[in-house]
Amino acid sequence: MSDVGKLLTDPGLRRVRMRIFTAVVVVFTLVCSGSFGMEDVVSSSGPGFTILMIVLLPFVWSVPMALVASELGSAIPEGGGLFRWVRRGLGEYWSFQTGWWWTLSLYVDSAVYITLALGYIQSKWHFSDDWRWVFGIGLVAFFTFINIRGLDITGKALIVIQAIVMVPFVALVIVGFAKGTGNPISPFLPPGTSIFAATNLGLAIMMWMYSGYESMSTLAAEVENPQRLIPRAIMIAVPIVIVTYALTTMAAIMAAGKGNWVNMVSDASAGGAAVDFVRAGQIVGGAFLLWAMFASAIASNLGLYAGYLASGSRPSYQLSRDRLYPRFMGKAHKRWGTPWVAILIMGLVDAILVKGSFTTLIVIDVFLLMFSYIPIFIAAIVLRVREPHMPRPFRVPMPTWLLAIYVCFPIAIAVYALFSNGSDYLVGGLVGVVSGPIAYLIFKRIYKGTADNALEGSIVTPEGEPTTFAAEVEAQA
């Protein structure tokens, strides 16, 4: 078979049958996996403004991405997901940039979750930093194996993990609303803080916590009927995530006690008056809920790691298949049908990064993610104009002109966030962004890329069948 034929069909990847419940759990994990981290927004932005942002921000930030990801995923249900959408709409260069920025962000992001899980564990058992790194390598190795073993195994693992995450949160909501004395919506802002200042402090965290609806698209080549399964899962997950953030955050503010929202932080292990979700559980539910929330916090971060190890490794595989990345990254496991080399390399990078601190790792994470989002939104509009008759099993119920206006909101928020969080954030993020064009020039020169016409259009129909053109090229090969 020629290189063209190998690119058109991907017999190495194995499709698994995934139930809609499992798909929703995967999307929920990638976006939410509990509300840990929202405490910092409360103390910096105020209870009322935090709850308002939880309710309103999705409609101008995450819902547009959820809708666009559903439409593009139903029209172009290919491996690599967002990378393929941008290639179809904006061409090879911008698709590489999107895949590179998004993947680099996920490499950092996934390591952050292991780092946070280790922080919780180390705060209780006080082992040395060297042992902390050893435990981190062990966790990375375990979830790397689970991912290589198969997407079906990863999905089942995430169901178990999310049960450990959410059962304590449900208990906190019930007990927090019953026993808590704090006011979940007052004061609206911290005393002496303007709306502008409160937005600067909380927006980046909130954007991070509402990101990820596009992530499952990278798994489209490994699930059956992705053009219908993934959009349905995204649309179901959207309201679940909003309700989860709203109820659990309100419950934590109430559990913290009257006026104690000022002491809410994402890590209260230092003691004193500091309150996080774990401490909030102890205040209203005693030792049992404290340990339950502690287990939830660890499981939440491990779930996020497992999910993003799966989705974050796939664009590298697809870039390799398109001759824009080292060829060994495009190998699939002969038995399990997963892109095992791409997964393994991501795991190895994470094993090194977990030795760093949370603040060191996160400095470029959101910045790179924002840059990768912008081409996705633009590609959605370009494809609406250029290919109006493309089959779209899920179509955003808006005319193209209105959708163009709607996606301007998240683009504007992304641009605002890029320049509103300090020089370290800006410089560190720009270094990561500039690496994209440099990497493209290097890999394009070495591996040549591909100008095959078949790669400029979807190689499968929305029904999952090969296109006529793809079939013809494959036959010729």
Q: In whole angstroms, what is the distance from residue 269 CA to residue 67 CA?
A: 39
Q: Are 306 and 147 contacting, i.e. CB atoms less than 8 angstroms apart?
A: yes
Q: In whole angstroms, what is the distance from residue 45 CA to residue 189 CA?
A: 6
DSSP-based three-state secondary structure for 358: helix
Q: What percent of the chain has pLDDT over 70?
A: 87
Q: In whole angstroms, what is the distance from residue 188 CA to residue 94 CA?
A: 42
**Mean model confidence pLDDT for the chain:** 86
Whole-number CA gyration radius for the chain: 22
270, pLDDT greater than 80: no
Lowest mean pLDDT among 109-113, 414-418, 433-437: 414-418
pLDDT at position 123 is 79
Q: What is the mean pLDDT of residues 29-43?
A: 93
396, pLDDT greater than 50: yes
Q: What is 3-476's CATH topology?
A: Amino acid/polyamine transporter I (1.20.1740)
Mention every residue, 6+ apart, whose C-beta is less than 8 A from residue 19: none
Q: Which of 101, 93, 213 is nearest to 456 (CA)?
A: 93
Lowest mean pLDDT among 10-24, 69-83, 292-306: 10-24
How far, CA to CA in Å, does 113 sit from each of 354, 358, 468? 9, 9, 43
Which tops the pLDDT comparison, 123 or 406? 406
Confidence of residue 357 (pLDDT cuts 50, 70, 90): low
CA 131 to chain centre: 28
31, pLDDT greater than 90: yes
Domain ranges across the chain:
3-476
Which tops the pLDDT comparison, 258 or 128? 258
Beta bridge partners of 275: 264
Q: In whole angstroms, what is the distance from residue 214 CA to residue 65 CA?
A: 7
CA 397 to chain centre: 25
- Backbone phi and psi for residue 466, each to the nearest 5 degrees, phi listed first: -60, 145
Q: What is the mean pLDDT of residues 55-84?
A: 92
Lowest mean pLDDT among 108-112, 212-216, 404-408, 452-456: 452-456
pLDDT at position 428 is 65
Cα 154-158-159 angle, rounded to 5 deg: 120
359, pLDDT greater than 60: no
Residues 280, 283, 284, 287: is their CA dihedral positive or negative?
positive
Q: What is the mean pLDDT of residues 158-187?
A: 96
Q: Are 157 and 29 contacting, i.e. CB atoms less than 8 angstroms apart?
A: no
Q: In whole angstroms, what is the distance from residue 180 CA to residue 254 CA?
A: 4
Joined tokens for residue 32: 């939410």
460, pLDDT greater than 90: no
Q: Where are the alpha helices (DSSP H) in 180-271?
A: 195-209, 226-256
Query: Token match 């890029």: residue?
Result: 418
DSSP-based three-state secondary structure for 268: coil
Q: What is the mean pLDDT of residues 366-376?
A: 86
474, pLDDT greater than 70: no
346, pLDDT greater than 70: yes
pLDDT at position 264 is 93
Q: In whole angstroms, what is the distance from residue 71 CA to residue 77 CA?
A: 10
Q: Which of 100, 101, 107, 35 is nearest to 308 (CA)?
A: 107
Confidence of residue 448 (pLDDT cuts 50, 70, 90): confident
Joined tokens for residue 166: 């959410």
Joined tokens for residue 138: 């062990």
pLDDT at position 111 is 83
DSSP H or E stretch at residue 272: none
DSSP-based three-state secondary structure for 16: strand
Mention every residue, 6+ apart, whose C-beta is less than 8 A from residue 40: 202, 205, 264, 265, 266
- The predicted-structure confidence for 225-255, as pLDDT tens digits, reads as follows 998 999 999 999 999 999 999 999 999 999 9
Q: Residue 467 carries which DSSP code?
A: P
Q: Are 44 and 190 contacting, i.e. CB atoms less than 8 angstroms apart?
A: yes
